[in-house]
Structure 1
Amino acid sequence: MSNASVNEVRLVGNLGSDPEVRTVGQGTQVATISIATTYHRGEDEFTEWHRVVLWKHLAERAQKYLRKGSSVYIAGRLATRKWQDEKGVDRYTTEVIAESMQMLGGGRQGNAGQGGDGAAGAAGEPKQDRRAPASQGADPAPQEQDAPF
């Protein structure tokens, strides 16, 4: 009998609201986001919502660059928490604990949210836009505005 197991989650979806960020312990930041993923079966479309928790540097990046409608890739693991409500009833929730995050598409300020190294807890900012500059005299391409999701 093998003792091997796997607890791995990969999501690509869009945020349903702005990240909720709070500080816990001795200044540790934690962010919670809700990501929608959609799949199709025949002509039917189904949307699934996922609660994702980001810690420390990932929480800081989420707060700085993610907004409602942002497209994001998350890799992490599932975790189930148990607590008691005010009536003493046991409650459970299953969340994705993010180990890495990559922002997809345009960011909050031009291309500030593009790229990213995807490393868990990466201290660096996302990669700079490395496209060739517009030719002399030509109007630069218009910047995409935040998607109205």
Structure 2
Amino acid sequence: MFDINIVVVGNVLTAPEWRRTASTNALVANFRVASTARRMDKETGRWVDGNHFRVRVNCWRRLAEGVASSVTVGDPVVVAGRLYTRDWTDSEGNLRTTYEMEAVSVGHDLSRGRGRFFRNKPTAASATETAEAEGQIRGEAARPVAEDEAPAVYGDGVLDGDEPTFEDVPAPVADGAEAVAALRGGSIEPFDTMMAIPAGDPEPASDASERPPAPDPAPAPDTGSDGAPAQGEAPARRASRSRSSRRQPVPA
């Protein structure tokens, strides 16, 4: 979780050396790599060497085989891995600290040269299934479960009976007459039936000739030769205006 992952671009200082660990008897190849920073000197206007970094690189398994057969002293390489420190005591009893790098990937720096890659041949693996292999799951021995001990078998929790079926879809209607017949014979009422007028209401006339006659207009009052109404006949409008203009008594 707290590993320090770094990438070092530099040159190989020492040739890869094979070693075998004492506890696990595993093979490991290690070499030293140096990285030098470059900076611009403002006084001279030239690029000069800056700070130096040297670290020991450890390679394991297939990576160790590739490094031992491909990397030599002076090669420009790009190394990616995890950086850590190792404390140890020398022969004189002094406590020392060494920086080491566990490599994950090592390759040549192609910006400074050319190379050719040769892929490793995969090791052949047997895919034959045996009785011993069938008795293991993920490398752990496993025994078959009896039928009466199985938590669920085929048919548990499934409803009895046949599978549900769907009703047949009616065939499409060819013409309008058959469509009306199908609607009247079914549960859907036709449009003209739903829009029928209730009993007791007059049926709306579809033509102007069937409409009821309009009432005659009220006769105009008789007037004299000068346009004034005749004697004994007061205009209805004036009478209604006089009645409406009377003031009603206000209660005490």
CA distance in 2, matches of 1:76, 1:50: 12
The residue aligned with 1:125 is 120
Between the aligned residues of both structures, percent identity stands at: 30
* 69-78 or 48-57: bigger deviation: 48-57
More helix by share: 2
Is contact 2:33–2:56 with CA below 8 Å preserved after alignment? yes
After TM superposition, list the pairs within 5 Å mapping 1:1-149 onto structure 2.
Answer: 5=2, 7-25=4-22, 27-43=25-41, 44-46=48-50, 47-105=52-110, 111=115, 114-115=116-117, 125=120
CA distance in 2, matches of 1:6, 1:79: 8
* 89-98 or 18-27: bigger deviation: 18-27
Larger radius of gyration: 2
Deviation at 1:90, TM superposition (A): 1.8
Is contact 2:3–2:83 with CA below 8 Å preserved after alignment? no
More strand by share: 1
Which 4+ stretches in 1 moved above 4 angstroms?
none
> Structure 1 length normalisation: TM-score?
0.62
> Structure 2 length normalisation: TM-score?
0.39
Is contact 1:104–1:115 with CA below 8 Å preserved after alignment? no
Where 1:97 maps in the other structure, the secondary structure is strand
Deviation at 1:18, TM superposition (A): 1.1
Is contact 1:102–1:115 with CA below 8 Å preserved after alignment? no
Is contact 1:29–1:60 with CA below 8 Å preserved after alignment? no
User: Considering only aligned residues, what root-mean-square deviation do their CA atoms show, in Å?
Assistant: 2.6
Residue ranges of structure 1 left out of the alignment (5+ in a row): 117-123, 127-149
Aligned amino acid, residue 30 of structure 2: T
Is contact 2:85–2:100 with CA below 8 Å preserved after alignment? yes
Question: Structure 1 38/88 Cα, relative in aligned 2: closer, same or farther at 3 Å?
Answer: closer
